[in-house]
Amino acid sequence: MATVKEYEAKLDARNRLTIRDAGFEHYHVQEFEDGTVVLKPRVLVSPTLLTAETLRKAEAGRDLEEFQTAEELFQDLES
């Protein structure tokens, strides 16, 4: 993966870090023992976009880990 931007950043007085020109509003954060921080963009889905079939699967207790891909999770949206 090629580097798009690289810059120095520091925490403010409230321990927040600013991402310049962030492409997403939500991120999944992973912090490692060596101090490395990985941010992965997340796109949240509105509950009104979920179909009845997806909601039935969720209510039936099917764990999200059982889905292999996001496409499999939302495949009923396409049909």
Structural domain includes residue 20 = no
In a domain, 74, yes or no: yes
Domain assignment present for residue 4? The answer is no
Q: What is the pTM of this model?
A: 0.52
For residue 24, being part of any structural domain is answered with no
> Is residue 2 a part of any domain in this protein?
no
d(CA 65, CA 13): 38
d(CA 73, CA 22): 27
How do residues 55-66 score in pLDDT, each as one tens digit? Answer: 777 777 656 566
The model's pLDDT over 9-35, given as tens digits with 9 standing for 90+, comes to: 999 999 999 999 988 889 999 999 999
**Structural domain of 60:** 47-78
Q: Which two tokens stand for residue 4?
A: 């798009």
55 within some domain? yes
Cβ proximity of 10 and 23 under 8 Å: no
Q: How many domains does the chain have?
A: 1
Domain membership flag for residue 35: no
